[in-house]
């Protein structure tokens, strides 16, 4: 927006001279109402009187028929103008519009006319020199001495500038408008944050849904695997049944063959066969005896193996015991090393004593005459040493007990210090809260004092004006206003007294709390000092007690070293025995292999004997032997079947174990997912609870603030009705001198209406923020 330009500039006179002509009657009609034929641009909230020392803010709105272009302007005219070139000043209109709502243009106080007797009008002039809108008529007013106020110049701090009350209110209004814009920006930011939070909540809900779907899919997979597992078990059972049926058939065939053999042996008993059979039985008996001998040797070897295994187990248990003992010894070594350092110092002291005794002994050798007395002294010194050693032991035990007691005391004191620190933090937070409340109360008091001062000034001004100017009806109205203002003043005074009493109570409570906290701090500091002193004394006592333990620890170390040496020798012996047992095991295994090879040879010999028997001349025996050979041939097939069944069983067990592991892993995954699901549900419930609580609070605050809004709006409407009635009653019957006083009254009423408007705006903002 450009600066305002006056009529004196030559360039501007050339640019505006081609405007369209408007008759004075049309201009006057446009000054009375903004809804004329030139109402394409509507002007809003123009006052009837405007001060000469304040900037004039012109608010207007464009209809759909008007598009702002470069060169459009708002010009100021005197009412009764006939040519467009009779403008006083103008202001350029902004063209880059984002919203077609209310727009504003400011005329600086320096460019406005100072004549307060003329009536003026604003017109919207397009770039094509066409008037698209006109405002209502108004006049300018020079402020009296009573209306002037001293204000500090913002550009030159320290200087006081006298301005009218309206100009001051206008500057304050600008500041509040800027603050309102900042609040709107904050509101938009809060809306964006709220939208982001809603998106995050939606994302979390989608994640919960996806996790639930994953859990459902995992459960379906689990069910499918269980069904597959059941099918596999059924197949395995069917195979086992088939195998059992085959075994039964083989057994039945074997029984049938044996029965045939028995029957044919009974039918065909020949001497040769009997002889051959007897020879075979003899050989079989010899072989069976030999096999029994081999079995007995095998049992002996197995018993030896068992004994060796038992001895190995006992040795392994001994080794474990030895390792445990070594661990205990290593732990005792650590403790003994600590005691050794203490005992060494005691040994040094004893050495010094022994050196003194040796010196005394030498003196005894030189002085044999006094030998009896010295011997008694030596005995006494030995007794003293024994008593001192006993006292040292007793002190050691006593000090250990004291150490444990004092360590417990230290832990208790540390906990007390932590609690005192936490209480100090809480008291500091409470102090800060009290300070903030005090500051807020002071601000409220200041604002109410300012409001009271304004009311008092208005009361004084009304008292001065009422007897001189107003008529009887006006006097009654003003008296009613005086009564209401005095009542409001009394209410404000009572509120101020209540607030002062509250402040005094708050200050007393604050001072009492500070005194209590200072006493607690002093007590805590004293306790901390005592703790530090006790800790220092404990450290010193511990350092002194370390020296007393060292001598006893050296003796224990020597004993432990001797035990360690004996245990290491025993370990070496056990290892030698283990090696001998391993050699015996290898020999036993080799013997078993030799016995197995012998059994195979004997089985081969049996087979040859049976084949020799099969060469007998009679066909019946040949058929029998042939069947036996077939049976023997089928035996490896049966063995392979049994081995195949065993392998299948092992594979089945392995598969079962794998499936169990997979089940366990799936259960673990499902449990984790269910835990995460419960956690997300809890978070979601917490968010819902917080949101519901906030919504309840907002609804309550909305209801209370809406009630306040309704009250303020009703008061505003009443004031506006009063202003309209005054205007109607005073139209045409008011002199020039009396109009100024009436304008002042109207201005005061408008100021009250503006205050009510500000309250309404604040309440609307509060309602809006609460609704968010």
Task: Give the pLDDT band of residue 337 (cuts 50, 70, 90).
Answer: low
Report the pLDDT averaged over residues 70-86. 87
Count CB atoms within 10 A of the CB of residue 726.
16
Model confidence over 239-260: pLDDT tens digits? 778 877 877 877 787 788 778 7
Phi, psi of 105 (to 5 degrees): -135, 140
Model confidence over 289-304: pLDDT tens digits? 777 777 777 677 777 7
> First vs last Cα of the chain: how many Å apart?
36
Token pair 């001004």 is found at 461
Q: Which of 20-24, 109-113, 512-516, 575-579 has the lowest mean pLDDT?
A: 20-24
* Summary mean pLDDT of the chain: 69
Residue 120 has pLDDT above 90, yes or no: yes
> Any idea what DSSP says for residue 39?
B
Model confidence over 633-677: pLDDT tens digits? 666 666 666 666 667 667 766 766 776 776 677 667 667 766 766
Token pair 């100017």 is found at 469
Collapsed DSSP state (helix, strand, coil) of residue 522: helix
Nearest-angstrom CA–CA distance, 97 and 114? 33
Say what the pTM is: 0.26
More confident site: 277 or 615? 277
Nearest-angstrom CA–CA distance, 389 and 395? 10
Model confidence over 423-480: pLDDT tens digits? 666 666 665 666 566 566 557 656 656 665 665 566 556 556 544 444 455 556 666 7
Please name the helix (run of DSSP H) or strand (run of DSSP E) that holds residue 132, with its range, or none. Answer: strand 131-134
Question: Is the separation of the CB atoms in 91 and 124 below 8 Å?
Answer: no
Burial class (CB in 10 A: 0-12, 13-18, 19+), 673: middle
% of residues, the chain, pLDDT over 70: 38
Q: At what angle do helices 371-469 and 472-614 cross, to 10 degrees?
A: 140
Nearest-angstrom CA–CA distance, 423 and 421? 5
């Amino acid at each position: 927006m450009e600066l305002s330009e006056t009529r004196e500039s030559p360039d501007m006179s050339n640019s505006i001279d081609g405007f369209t002509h408007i008759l004075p009657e049309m201009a006057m009609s446009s000054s009375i109402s903004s809804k004329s034929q030139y109402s394409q641009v509507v002007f809003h909230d123009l006052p009837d009187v405007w001060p000469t020392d304040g900037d004039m803010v012109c608010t207007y709105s464009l209809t759909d028929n008007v598009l702002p272009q470069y060169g459009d302007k708002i010009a100021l005219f005197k009412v009764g103008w006939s040519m467009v070139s009779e403008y006083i000043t103008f202001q350029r209109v902004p063209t880059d519009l984002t919203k077609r709502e209310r727009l504003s243009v400011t005329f600086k106080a320096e460019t406005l006319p100072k004549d307060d007797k003329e009536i003026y009008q604003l017109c919207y002039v397009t770039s094509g020199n066409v008037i698209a809108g006109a405002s209502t008529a108004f006049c300018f007013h020079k402020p009296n001495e009573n209306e002037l106020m001293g204000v500090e110049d913002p550009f030159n701090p320290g200087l006081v500038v006298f301005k009218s009350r309206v100009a001051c209110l206008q500057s304050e209004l600008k500041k509040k408008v800027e603050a309102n814009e900042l609040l709107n920006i904050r509101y938009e930011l809060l809306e964006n944050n709220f939208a982001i939070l809603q998106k995050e909540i939606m994302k979390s809900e989608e994640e919960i849904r996806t996790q639930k779907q994953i859990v459902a899919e995992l459960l379906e997979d689990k069910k499918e695997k269980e069904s597959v597992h059941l099918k596999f078990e059924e197949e395995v059972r069917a195979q086992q049944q088939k195998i059992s049926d085959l075994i039964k058939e083989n057994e039945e065939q074997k029984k049938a063959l044996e029965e045939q053999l028995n029957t044919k042996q009974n039918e065909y008993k020949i001497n040769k066969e009997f002889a051959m059979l007897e020879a075979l039985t003899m050989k079989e008996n010899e072989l069976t005896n030999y096999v029994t001998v081999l079995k007995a040797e095998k049992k002996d070897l197995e018993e030896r193996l068992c004994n060796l295994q038992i001895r190995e187990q006992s040795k392994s248990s001994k080794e474990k015991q030895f390792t445990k003992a070594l661990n205990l010894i290593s732990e005792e070594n650590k403790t003994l090393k600590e005691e050794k350092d203490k005992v060494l110092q005691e040994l040094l002291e004893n050495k010094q004593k022994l050196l003194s005794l040796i010196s005394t002994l030498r003196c005894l050798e030189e002085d044999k005459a006094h030998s009896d007395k010295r011997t008694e002294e030596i005995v006494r010194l030995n007794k003293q040493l024994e008593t001192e050693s006993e006292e040292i032991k007793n002190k050691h035990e006593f000090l250990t007990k004291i150490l444990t007691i004092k360590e417990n005391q230290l832990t208790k004191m540390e906990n007390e210090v932590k609690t005192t620190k936490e209480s100090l933090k809480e008291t500091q937070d409470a102090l800060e809260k009290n300070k903030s409340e005090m500051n807020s109360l002071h601000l409220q008091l200041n604002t109410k004092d300012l409001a009271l001062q304004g009311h008092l000034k208005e009361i004084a001004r009304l008292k001065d004006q009422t007897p001189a100017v107003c008529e009887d009806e006006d006097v009654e109205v003003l008296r009613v206003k005086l009564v209401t203002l005095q009542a409001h003043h009394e209410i404000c005074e009572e509120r101020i007294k209540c607030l002062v009493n509250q402040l005094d109570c708050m200050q007393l409570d604050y001072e009492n709390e500070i005194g209590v906290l200072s006493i607690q701090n002093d007590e805590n500091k004293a306790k901390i000092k005592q703790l530090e002193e006790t800790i220092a004394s404990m450290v010193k006592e511990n350092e002194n007690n370390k020296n007393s333990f060292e001598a006893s620890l050296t003796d224990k170390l020597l004993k432990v070293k001797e035990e360690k040496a004996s245990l290491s020798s025993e370990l070496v012996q056990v290892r030698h025995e283990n090696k001998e047992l391993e050699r015996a095991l290898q020999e036993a295994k080799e013997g078993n292999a030799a016995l197995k090879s012998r059994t195979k040879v004997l089985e081969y010999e049996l087979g040859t004997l049976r084949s020799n028997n099969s060469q007998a001349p009679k066909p019946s025996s040949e058929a029998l032997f042939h069947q036996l050979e077939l049976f023997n041939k089928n035996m490896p097939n049966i063995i392979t079947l049994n081995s195949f069944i065993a392998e299948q069983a092992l594979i089945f067990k392995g598969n079962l174990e794998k499936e169990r592991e997979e089940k366990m892993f799936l259960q673990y995954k499902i449990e984790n997912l269910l835990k995460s699901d419960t956690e997300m549900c809890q978070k979601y419930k917490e968010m819902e609870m917080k949101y519901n609580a906030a919504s309840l609070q907002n609804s309550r605050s909305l209801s209370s603030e809406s009630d306040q809004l309704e009250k303020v709006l009703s008061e505003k409407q009443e004031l506006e009705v009063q202003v309209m009635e005054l205007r109607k009653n005073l139209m045409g019957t008011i002199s020039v001198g009396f109009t100024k006083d009436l304008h002042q009254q109207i201005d005061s009423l408008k100021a009250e209406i503006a205050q009510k408007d500000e309250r309404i705006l604040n309440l609307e903002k509060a309602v809006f923020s609460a609704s968010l």
